[in-house]
Structure 1
Amino acid sequence: MINMAEKVLMKGNEALAEAAIRAGCRFFFGYPITPQNELLEYMARHLPEVGGTFLQSESEIGAINMVFGAACAGVRVMTSSSGPGISLKQEGISYIAGSEVPAVIVNIMRTGPGLGGIAPTQSDYFQATKGGGHGDYRLMVLAPASVQEMVDLTALAFEKADEYRNPVLILGDGVLGQMMEPVVLPAPSPEKTVEKPWATTGKGDNEKAKLITSLYIQPEEAERFCDHLRAKYSAMEERETRFECYRTDDAEIIAVAYGTAARLCMAAVDMVREKGIRAGLIRPITLFPFPSAPLRKAAEGGAWFLTVELSTGQMVEDVRLAVGGRQPVAFYGRSGGMVPDPRVIAARLEELAEKKGNAETAQPNEGGAA
């Protein structure tokens, strides 16, 4: 473990693991799967150095239920996996959300569906944001676009998990997990004491027994609980939406992308700007809550949109919902582990700009999909 605040060159998976330890994570349960194995290995090596517990479970199902148990005791706990492993964890994630206990879950995405392959994609967006398990629950989903953000958003994930008593998912891809970049690590700090009177750590003489459950037999009681959860998720939407706007002040064409795809789009935007095309980028940092407001505002200002993903198109649905038919939303994606060249994205932005110019010359825009 690095013992001081400094700028170092680190692989994304390892930087995230180090950030978790510095954020007070003291329990980790997981099972190997590429392309996130370095995270598991780093925790196995360094978590015991700070008095923490690492355990490679017998399966992903075992790992998430160990996370559930540790979370009920009020400790900071994390697990990580990739798409197929996260699929196996879904029932446990639903239980954690339904029991209102905090935990951090990391998905370093690989190709799919099925077993897929180890190459990077962004094809787990639906799984992450729409609730891959059963019931009316949501996860806060953070989408880093650099190794530095993998560090910064990990600390935020633990804070928000505790604040909302809800699991938080960090959604990266194989590029971010495997690439190396310089990062500034925060100085190790004393573990923060977060009051958790609900935690199952035993009861005092004058206390009632503590019970954590997601079981509500009576329909009226179950509905009240689901309404309580809905109010919590609404609070997240009001307070926790995060995004980055790049060169959008005068943009007529706006790319929408997250993670690695956003970095490619940023380069593409710069390319077409040199040709006089007023393009910009809106990068969601929280995928839930989704940053609908800046998209809606840009649409009301007349901008057209190009959603770019390392998938066959999943986030594009949320972009279209946010735009609400006010302006066209086009899509460009690569899948199976193929990463697009920024020059190809730039060409798509140019095509969309030309369509917009022709449409405005011919007739008023009626919105819809491009």
Structure 2
Amino acid sequence: MAEQEVKLMKGNEAIAHAAIRCGADGFFGYPITPQTEIIETLSVLKPWETTGMVVLQAESEVASINMVYGGAGAGKKVFTTSSSPGVSLMQEGISYMAGAEIPGVFVNVQRGGPGLGTIQPSQSDYFQSTRGGGNGDYYVIVLAPNSVQEMADFMDLAFDLAFKYRNPAMILSDGVIGQMMEKVVLPPMKPRRTEEEIRRECPWATIGRTPDRDINIMTSLELQSEVMEQRNIHLQKKYDVIKENEVRFEKTNLDDADYVIVAFGSVARISEKAVELAREEGIKVGLFRPITLWPFPEKEIAELAKTKKGFLVAELNAGQMIEDVRLAVNGETKVAHFGRLGGMVPDPEEIVNALKEELL
């Protein structure tokens, strides 16, 4: 077995390296802090000279999402990256892709808002990501990494899920995970698929006429209401399958816990230390980390609620994921919130104090 190569790099850099290694065909993006290192790293690595991967800086976020729409519609593994205000501009294209069932990958390294806000970390795009920020009834598969290693690992996973379900997939990171440096083992190199492999694996793709198939037209437009309703029913059935099969989460110190901290991304990292500090004081608390924010692990939280005295939802926003936790708990036990706003990152002690004040 070949020895794994361990590297030290930022989360943003890990995204760029992993994309090349998992056989991505193209990247289309636009610079915005705190995710610009992704574009910069791709520019330095020059994958067009080694794997043939296209790297293009578009003139705007709107242009980049429509380039992803076109490339993914041809069955190509393409992706874009941005940060909160830029992702807002992409919502129309993401909705179009969901409606046309086109698989693309998006990386959002969140910053504080609303509006242009700050370049500091935030988690206030939870609603924008998990609720379908564009028009219509749709969902995006959302993965929330809490380490540089997961930034690298989730690129391949996001592409796999996007193509498995013909649905947009998002890696919802934040400025802490994107900018911090950690050791990471990069995934092995995968070759890019050939045109013949794409035709075989993606018969829906608009890759041109073949002897036995006419050109496919990829669109989310349908002028007949009764046909559009059937399309929507089909999408809802697909979302039910995703919710049944693709929920991911992590549990820490929950077997004997009286209380549960629920957190994702960088706040989950901070909450790990908060759990340690609280237990040193004799408070039996554990951590529940949703890895998929959609589909949300509602069944698992509902089961925990039957035996726990309370939940503290910790996040870098005014209270967004807490709504999903409350729905899952369904009144079985108390649910409280701790949040910091505008790019402020809490200390573990602040989370412990909130646990004491709100639940004990």
The letter for the 2-side match of 1:177 is G
- Tell me which residue corresponds to 1:233: 239
Runs of 4+ in 1 over 3 A off after TM superposition: 191-194
- Tell me which residue corresponds to 1:252: 258
- Tell me which residue corresponds to 1:212: 218
Distance 2:190 2:135 in 1: 38
Q: State the Cα RMSD in Å.
A: 1.4
The letter for the 1-side match of 2:12 is N
The letter for the 2-side match of 1:204 is T
Q: Tell me if the contact between 2:247 and 2:292 (Cα under 8 Å) persists in the aligned partners.
A: yes
- Tell me which residue corresponds to 2:322: 316
Tell me, yes or no, if structure 1 residue 27 matches structure 2 residue 26. yes
Q: Tell me if the contact between 2:62 and 2:89 (Cα under 8 Å) persists in the aligned partners.
A: yes
**Stretch of structure 1 that moved more, 343-352 or 185-194:** 185-194
Distance 2:178 2:133 in 1: 22
SS at match of 1:9: strand
The letter for the 2-side match of 1:142 is L
- Tell me which residue corresponds to 1:150: 151
Unaligned runs of 5+ in 2: none
Q: Tell me if the contact between 2:6 and 2:184 (Cα under 8 Å) persists in the aligned partners.
A: yes
- Tell me which residue corresponds to 2:94: 93
Unaligned runs of 5+ in 1: 355-370
Q: Tell me if the contact between 2:142 and 2:171 (Cα under 8 Å) persists in the aligned partners.
A: yes
Count of residue pairs brought into register by the alignment: 352
Q: Deviations over 1:83-104 (max 9, x none)?
A: 1100111101111111111110
Match of 1:196 among 202, 212, 231: 202
SS at match of 1:132: coil
Aligned-pair distance for 1:352?
4.1
Aligned-pair distance for 1:302?
3.3
SS at match of 1:305: strand
Aligned-pair distance for 1:272?
1.0
Distance 2:142 2:212 in 1: 39
Q: Tell me if the contact between 2:259 and 2:284 (Cα under 8 Å) persists in the aligned partners.
A: yes
| Residue correspondence of structure 1 range 1-370 to structure 2 within 5 A | 5-46=4-45, 47-48=47-48, 49-191=50-192, 193=197, 195-354=201-360
- Tell me which residue corresponds to 1:367: none
Q: Tell me if the contact between 2:143 and 2:170 (Cα under 8 Å) persists in the aligned partners.
A: yes
Distance 2:344 2:210 in 1: 57
Q: TM-score, with normalisation over the residues of structure 1?
A: 0.93
Q: Tell me if the contact between 2:84 and 2:125 (Cα under 8 Å) persists in the aligned partners.
A: yes
Q: Tell me if the contact between 2:131 and 2:139 (Cα under 8 Å) persists in the aligned partners.
A: yes
Distance 1:173 1:207 in 2: 43
Q: TM-score, with normalisation over the residues of structure 2?
A: 0.95
SS at match of 2:226: helix
SS at match of 2:56: strand
- Tell me which residue corresponds to 1:357: none
Distance 1:213 1:9 in 2: 42
Q: Deviations over 1:273-331 (max 9, x none)?
A: 11221100100000000011121111111331000001111111111011011111000
Distance 1:89 1:287 in 2: 19
Q: Tell me if the contact between 2:316 and 2:341 (Cα under 8 Å) persists in the aligned partners.
A: yes
Q: Tell me if the contact between 2:29 and 2:56 (Cα under 8 Å) persists in the aligned partners.
A: yes
Distance 2:229 2:344 in 1: 44
Aligned-pair distance for 1:204?
1.7
Aligned-pair distance for 1:74?
0.6
Taking only the aligned residue pairs, the percentage that are identical comes to: 54
Aligned-pair distance for 1:347?
1.7
The letter for the 1-side match of 2:186 is L
Q: Tell me if the contact between 2:22 and 2:187 (Cα under 8 Å) persists in the aligned partners.
A: no
The letter for the 1-side match of 2:37 is E
SS at match of 2:121: coil
Q: Tell me if the contact between 1:253 and 1:352 (Cα under 8 Å) persists in the aligned partners.
A: no
**Stretch of structure 1 that moved more, 313-322 or 191-200:** 191-200
Aligned-pair distance for 1:350?
2.8
Q: Tell me if the contact between 1:305 and 1:328 (Cα under 8 Å) persists in the aligned partners.
A: yes
Distance 2:215 2:313 in 1: 51
